[in-house]
Amino acid sequence: MTNIARSIDNYDDMSKILTDYIKDTKKVALLLDYDGTLAPISQHSDETNMDPYSVKFLNKLSLNPNIFIAFISGRGVVDVKSTIGIRNCTYAGNHGMEIIFRNRERWEYVLSDHLKEQFLGMIKAMDEAQLTAHGAYVENKGTSISYHYNEVPLEYQEELTNKARQIIRSFDFVANEAKGVIEGNAPVDWNKGNAALLILEKEFGDDWKSFVRVIFAGDDTTDENAMKSLKGNAISFRISDLLKEETAADYLLPSTNAVSYLLQWLESKFFHHSFSDLPSSQQR
């Protein structure tokens, strides 16, 4: 179910929303996407960076036994874990196809032998088609690929992206659109929503809905799966610079900077700090 969500662009509104939602609950689960949510989208995935305030807040929150943090990313799980680097958290990669829980246990969705063969064929075909021209590159994530074309000049994008989609679909994989990326995902019934539910059950047990307040934030179409799966048992935010957008999220946030409001509020509630920790440019 989708709706037109209201945009939240200041700390006071964020504070009211979270105060009403969390109230006196002791346990909070914070589930976050990375690219486009905690860090602005960049032309190359190696160039993304969180602002220092978000890093500070997340490191502090990860130390509180009443707050659980999981990152659910489209990146490979090893990549997103090394990129974020915050301890005592759960990391999910490949849109939830692989998970490293905070107790270091690992889980992965195992593809059938047929899909494994199709995946290898797709990788080979992408290479032979020379799709890495003009700054584009293919990221092999083990069970899925990301075709990055952010750096490609506009006059070449249509031709290259059409070829990428055609190859992905010819091997029965699903071509999903993201920001400057085409994802080649396996045609399986598993996504960020399934991963979010699995992570919560693993951390809190089957009855997590009765005592955990869940907050989810993401910026892309793949995050909508988690928003839908958590609907009614979480509060969700979609990062979008549109004032109105059809989404399963409860609220819109205009930028990654606004995610700092969320993190700052949690820190102030659980560590009794003040709003003054945020830079003046973000205190709007």
Tens place of pLDDT for every residue, the chain, 284 residues? 566 677 887 888 999 999 999 988 889 999 999 999 999 887 777 778 898 989 999 999 999 999 999 999 999 999 999 999 999 999 999 999 999 999 999 999 999 999 999 999 999 999 999 898 898 999 999 999 999 998 899 999 999 999 999 999 999 999 998 888 999 999 999 999 999 999 999 999 999 999 999 999 999 888 999 999 999 999 999 998 876 678 999 999 999 988 988 999 999 888 864 444 444 444 43
pTM of the entire predicted model:
0.89
> Are 48 and 40 a contacting pair, CB within 8 Å?
yes
- What pLDDT does residue 223 have? 94
What's the first-to-final CA gap in the chain, in angstroms? 31
- What pLDDT does residue 96 have? 96
CA separation, residue 249 to residues 41, 141, 226 (Å): 20, 27, 9
Backbone angles phi, psi at 14, to 5 degrees: -60, -45
The Cα–Cα gap between 217 and 227 comes to 8
Q: For residue 203, which amino acid is it?
A: E
The Cα–Cα gap between 280 and 10 comes to 12
> Are 258 and 37 a contacting pair, CB within 8 Å?
no
Q: Is 237 left (phi over 0), alpha (psi -120 to 50) or beta?
A: beta
> Are 229 and 194 a contacting pair, CB within 8 Å?
yes
- What pLDDT does residue 276 have? 43
- What pLDDT does residue 109 have? 95
